[in-house]
Structure 1
């Protein structure tokens, strides 16, 4: 297998919590706490989970918009985790970020031409036909009128503004794009247009995506592989078909049970799983398995031993002591799961 374009290894981000006049640290919000995954050239990996699980923070750590607390980010074989800003600036041509809100991510005082042309000026990139012609070509590529060059963001709809943001991202022909909930602020009809645009651009420009989203329907449509996050950790990682057809982590199963079914006749075929309680605070996450406080399958081992993210089926990684869809699990992994079940039937204690 070829080397990954992006490799994230044990990535962490802990935001300090301070108190008092002297800002004494009394704790830390563990927003991202040991995230690992690889992204290969030309693929799309979806990063999903509830609000506050650390998806956006992970995206910003990858692009070094915020500094990581621990772990590594390797891009094209280069460790960029602690690379200086002067050294990482040239690499930003190859790594770009699409922001979630098209209303706040565009400067209202700048014209479209200035916004999309900014990467050329910041990076000192010269073009044969001039920046204006290059920007107009990019606007046409994302479905906007090149004559919009001198217009301002307030003159466009939400979907058009997001296209402007995408155009700015494409200006320097990046290899990797982190799309942070690129359609969540748009109407449903416009969401489909933007998602289709991203797919067309990927095929035409050979792009690689990390798509951050909470809409599992969007992720299913656009992603090759999907990583599910809960409280700063990845709990399941698999190819799209395996994850949607046979989810193994109880949390993933609960998320998928909430996805609306378009066909009215089949809406009663799926049982809705309603999780009990609120999402715990990342300031004081539960010990061991962080999902055990809301999991209907939790046993003593879930509170005392953190399940590692391991491959239970070909290409399907899960962090759970008692995974779902046991018939899909490979023989060696099934033996360990069976031991967990046996131990749970004869517990040494109870969950408090």
Structure 2
């Protein structure tokens, strides 16, 4: 993984609040805080995994980064340039460098267009000419993602789900982007096909020097493909660390609970592991809990968690956590003993 002094992508205080209106005059009576103050960087050549439960704001974050949605607040910088409120005309050339793989390979491809028209659309929209012609360029890209170049004249309905996702990936690669936002790229596919697509994404990254932000809820997939992992809960990042640090020493209780639910094939390896069953549902982003948003479901929550929002701070090299009572955190030599906290509710040995 290559590193540069300045990150390829830098997000600071990113927000997206969807207004709730009422009446004929559309008076705003509230807002859904889908994304509420995200800050993170992505270095060139790395893969950042963005994980969390459904509804936590992962997909909205991806669409904000690529400016498919207009941010409410915060900044998005790409290669040092502030693109947060850049006009669509100014964004057009940048879209060659920032592309998105969508979740559903069935609805993201126009059924009326051939594969050649779908994959060749970026060339036409951006006015890019190739030496050997668009058809030859498209066929080379199809071959790159594991499809037959002769599929050029076929339609999406003639392909399986995995093949359709490869077509979507081919379209993304057409203009040789630098950053790809992959929104749940394998969640709609069979398990056996998931592995093939994940391996394809890794091979393409190594061959084309790509940078990924992979949005997913499957922690097993994220562990396989990511260099670093950011955990989201109700519009905020609660923990971000390198893959090894997060999976072996999770510090936020929410991360610990998520990892406890990941299936482990080896019976001996999971023998002593406790499954943490969180109580209640995820609160509504329309009216999130005050201070620490996880305190309504956290077994370690105390009064301070209800009144003071924990900042996202580094508790170990490259490991940031937003929690007043983190787990597995290295204690300072002069730190006072941590107050006793109750055990996880509903914990059951797997």
* TM-score of the pair, normalised by structure 1: 0.94
Aligned equivalent of 2:310: 307
- Residue 229 of structure 1: CA displacement? 0.1
Indicate if the aligned counterparts of 1:28 and 1:283 stay in contact, CA closer than 8 A. yes
- Residue 266 of structure 1: CA displacement? 3.3
Secondary structure of the equivalent of 2:171?
Answer: helix
Aligned equivalent of 1:123: 126
- Residue 343 of structure 1: CA displacement? 11
Q: 2:235 aligns with which of 221, 232, 237?
A: 232
Aligned equivalent of 1:323: 326
Indicate if the aligned counterparts of 2:71 and 2:84 stay in contact, CA closer than 8 A. yes
- Residue 344 of structure 1: CA displacement? 8.7
Q: Does 2:46 correspond to 1:43?
A: yes
Q: Give structure 1 stretches of 5+ with no counterpart.
A: 346-352
Aligned equivalent of 2:180: 177
Indicate if the aligned counterparts of 2:300 and 2:341 stay in contact, CA closer than 8 A. no
Aligned equivalent of 2:213: 210
Aligned pairs for 1:147-158 within 5 A: 147-158=150-161
Offset from partner CA, 1:175-230 (integer Å, 9 cap, x none): 00000000000000000000000000000000000000000000000000000000
Q: Give structure 2 stretches of 5+ with no counterpart.
A: 343-350
1:272, 1:94 → 2: CA distance?
42
1:104, 1:180 → 2: CA distance?
14
Aligned equivalent of 1:56: 59
Offset from partner CA, 1:42-101 (integer Å, 9 cap, x none): 000000000000000000000000000000000001000000000001000000000000
- Residue 23 of structure 1: CA displacement? 1.2
Indicate if the aligned counterparts of 1:300 and 1:344 stay in contact, CA closer than 8 A. no
1:53, 1:44 → 2: CA distance?
20
2:102, 2:254 → 1: CA distance?
27
Point out the structure with the larger helix share. Answer: 1
Aligned pairs for 1:1-352 within 5 A: 2-326=5-329, 328-329=330-331, 331=332, 335=335, 338=336, 341=338
Aligned residue pairs total 339
- Residue 22 of structure 1: CA displacement? 1.6
1:42, 1:120 → 2: CA distance?
24
1:287, 1:176 → 2: CA distance?
35
Secondary structure of the equivalent of 1:298?
Answer: coil
CA RMSD across the alignment: 1.5
Secondary structure of the equivalent of 1:197?
Answer: helix
1:179, 1:80 → 2: CA distance?
20
- Residue 21 of structure 1: CA displacement? 1.8
